[in-house]
Amino acid sequence: MKTQSILVIGASGTVGAEVSRILKAQGHKVLEATSKRAPADGKVFVDLTTGEGISAAFEHVDRAFLLSPPGYADQYAMLSPLIQEAKRRGLRKVVLMTALGANASDSTPFRRAELELERSGLSYNIIRPNWFMQNFNSFWIQGIKEHGKVFLPAGTAKVGFIDARDISAVAAKLLVSEELSNRAFDLTGPRALDHAEAAELISKATGKTIGYQEITPEAFRSGLLGAGLPADYVDFMVLIIGFLREGYNSAVTQNVEAILGRSAIPFETYAKDFKISYL
């Protein structure tokens, strides 16, 4: 495999950090974008809210992995300058991560970014993952540790939760391959679970009693605002979990297996591998 020089946006996040690790292990030169103003070797400062550092980050790379950081409802404002710079530089490949259902309407911020990339003339892939399994040990962990509960307005809807490690592996594979270029892939885990079933699997892995308790959208919104999240992003979160509650995230695809040549990681494996997070 020819060595590539690859920019990873969001390299300190759940997906980006693993994408960087995989690519480095394969011998590729990885430039990790970070919001720290004094980055270490192999890292570059980029502020997606202002655009500062974007041009410099793309200066010596052939390929790029793009995503929008959490906490911002207008993902297009974050992603469009990156896509424009990738086009200006004539990158050999761009992989963009959005979210499952992003293509439901051409007017959504994520879909606008997808369309801009599709029309850029660049070789690309778009990956649309379902809700992360890792949300349980990050975003929902406070309720689990303090009350032994997952508190969400998710009803009994099933979700094709995906392990973030699978998302990263898919992104890394697509970044250095041309075989599947210019296609979008919905990514899910191997089966759909509701939140009560997920909590039960975490309980089995950890030996702790963890349950799921449905709350109202209003209580969910209040909790997010109390955590200091911006109001527009909170409204976005309430909206998308409403779609989840209506069953829009229950689909299961075989795209992880088709791309990686192995089965997607099941929730039981995730719970076992991350059990230390719950103890």
- What CATH fold (topology level) applies to the domain 5-129+164-187+251-264? Rossmann fold (3.40.50)
Average pLDDT over residues 51-78: 95
Confidence of residue 65 (pLDDT cuts 50, 70, 90): very high
What pLDDT was estimated at residue 40? 74
Q: What is the reported pTM?
A: 0.96
pLDDT greater than 80 at residue 4 = no
- In tens, the pLDDT along 90-110 reads 999 999 999 999 999 999 999
pLDDT greater than 60 at residue 81 = yes
Please name the residue that has the structure tokens 């296609």.
183
pLDDT greater than 90 at residue 2 = no
What pLDDT was estimated at residue 127? 98
pLDDT greater than 80 at residue 184 = yes
- In tens, the pLDDT along 9-53 reads 999 999 999 999 999 999 999 999 988 776 678 899 999 999 999
Confidence of residue 3 (pLDDT cuts 50, 70, 90): low
Confidence of residue 129 (pLDDT cuts 50, 70, 90): very high
Question: How far, in Å, CA of 189 to CA of 87, rounded?
Answer: 32
- In tens, the pLDDT along 66-75 reads 999 989 999 9
Give the 3-state secondary structure of the chain. CCCCEEEECCCCCHHHHHHHHHHHHCCCEEEEEECCCCCCCCEEECECCCCECHHHHCCCCCEEEECCCCCCCCHHHHHHHHHHHHHHHCCCEEEEECCCCHHHCCCCHHHHHHHHHHCCCCCEEEEEECCEHHHCCCCCHHHHHHHCEEEECCCCCCECCECHHHHHHHHHHHHCCCCCCCEEEEECCCCCECHHHHHHHHHHHHCCCCEEEECCHHHHHHHHHHCCCCHHHHHHHHHHHHHHHCCCCCCCCCHHHHHHCCCCCCHHHHHHHCHHHHC
Question: How far, in Å, CA of 115 to CA of 78, rounded?
Answer: 14
What pLDDT was estimated at residue 226? 93
Structural domain boundaries in the chain:
5-129+164-187+251-264
